[in-house]
Structure 1
Amino acid sequence: MNNFNLAERVKELRKQKGLSQEVLATESGLSLRTIQRIENSETVPRGDTLKKLAQALNCTPSDIVEWQVREDNSYLVIMSLSALGFVFFPILGIIIPLTLWILKREKTKGVDRLGKSILNFQITWVILLFSFYIIFVTGMMGGFLSGVLKSISPSPFLSVILLIGALYGYNIVVTIINTVRVYQQKSVKYVPAIPILR
């Protein structure tokens, strides 16, 4: 890692913690001038200085020294495919991508944007799915819902299975299309998606 990247990383970590240079100097036991020299790429923290800095920033020394924003298209593809966890249980389509997003959102280029897109889409899809379940269970005997279900199929149960199958099928298609687009390094489009994460 070059000095400029290290300086940027220290500055970024300090700002994420909401610390001024003065407070970081106090919490780390380092002089204000040392903090300023590190952030201005005039020096590289090593040994005890690096340990004190990492402790004050609540991270490991390797988080400071080895950090870099890198491109890793294979990670983006894996993250995109991870949304297919919903097939086994709807919430897994949120939990798995969320975990992958949290792990690399600051370390790998494109993870933050893609993760937010996937999560917004999956959260919206789960809301639609559970809303449908609630409407079906509470309104099954209602005239409107019965009429809609009968127009799809004479058997209400079969109609529900078809509608749920359509929701699952749509999610699978959107996920696969966007995974291919990620692989080709093209922009993705997850719709519908409530912009919960911005």
Structure 2
Amino acid sequence: MSILKTIREQEGYTQSDLATKTGLSLRTIQRLENTNKVPKGYTLTALAEEFKMEPSALQAKYLNTKRSRDSEISTIRMINLSVLSFLGIPFGNLIFPIIIWRDNRDSQLVDEVGRRIVNFQILFTLCLSVLLILIPFTVSRLLPGIPLILILALLAYLFNIIVIIRTAIKIQQQDFDFLNLPFRLI
């Protein structure tokens, strides 16, 4: 949520009220609330004066929120990248992301996005396990001599790496609308 909107609502102002009291345009108030950018110059001074605080204190609220958001994004990156541990550790794609996610669930963003990453990895692991169990009994009888288990495992690993890279790109763009599966296990 926007810092300005939070403070404005605590003071009981509408956007129009705040614009009138500060001498700022309604559009400026709307822009600041939508972008959550730190106000500067006259805008910062007018808002701080209306909220009866020092401009540096208002600026600090914005910077603390930005640091907190950056920390959440770093944690989400760590959850996503920890999935790569499956390349060297069996079920590493579940163990490490779950540990990181559980330790950082106090943040709503980390909880939601981490839950989606972990959920996808659980489903991926279940599907791959079932396929690896069934292949020797079904397809290998039709195509003897072809190492289908190895081919399937390599394709699945490649698919998971592509998902991790795609997720990392989305996180970098701060677009957290990914891995929205129709059902969840956690």
TM category, shorter: 0.5 to 0.7
- Which residue number corresponds to residue 190 of structure 1? 179
Name the residue aligned to 1:156: 146
Q: Which amino acid aligns with 1:116?
A: R
Cα-to-partner distance string for 1:117-140 (whole Å, 9 max, x where unaligned): 111111111111211221124x1x
Alpha-carbon distance between aligned partners in 2 of 1:171 and 1:191, rounded to the nearest angstrom? 16
Alignment partner of 1:146 out of 141, 144, 148: 141
CA deviations over 1:75-119 (Å, ceiling 9, x no partner): 21111111111112341101101111111110x351101111111
Residue 103 of structure 1: aligned partner: 103
- 1:81 maps to 2:81: yes
Identity, % of aligned positions: 25
Q: State the partner residue of 2:156.
A: 167
Report how many residues are paired: 119
Assess if the C-alpha contact under 8 Å between 1:118 and 1:190 holds in 2: yes
Change (3 A) 1:84 1:192: farther
After TM superposition, give the deviation of residue 191 of structure 1 in Å. Answer: 7.0
Aligned to 2:68: 70
Closer, same or farther: CA 85–191 of 1 in aligned 2, 3 Å: farther
Q: 1:136 to 1:123 in 2, by over 3 A?
A: same
| TM-score, normalised via structure 2 length | 0.56
Bigger fraction of residues in helix: 2
* SS, match of residue 70 in structure 1: helix
Change (3 A) 1:132 1:89: farther
Q: Is the 8 A contact 2:140 2:146 kept in 1?
A: no
Distance 1:125 1:70, change over 3 A: same
Rounded to whole Å, the distance in 1 between the matches of 2:134 and 2:182 is 21
Please say if residues 116 and 180 of structure 2, whose CA atoms lie closer than 8 Å, have aligned partners that are also in contact.
Answer: no
CA distance in 2 between partners of 1:85 and 1:188 (Å): 24
Shift of the alpha carbon at 1:70?
3.0
SS of 2:170's partner is helix
Determine which structure has greater relative contact order: mean sequence separation of CA pairs < 8 Å that are 6+ residues apart, divided by chain length: 1
Match of residue 121 from structure 2: 122
Give the whole-Å Cα distance in 1 for the aligned partners of 2:169 and 2:180: 16
Q: Where does structure 2 lack aligned partners over 5 or more consecutive residues?
A: 1-66
The answer on whether the counterparts of 2:170 and 2:178 sit within 8 Å (CA) in structure 1 is no
RMSD (CA atoms): 2.5
1:188 to 1:85, Cα distance in 2 relative to 1, 3 A:
farther
Distance 1:178 1:184 in 2: 10
Q: Check the 8 A contact 2:101/2:111 in 1, yes or no.
A: yes
CA gap of 1:194–1:86, structure 2 versus 1, over 3 A, is farther
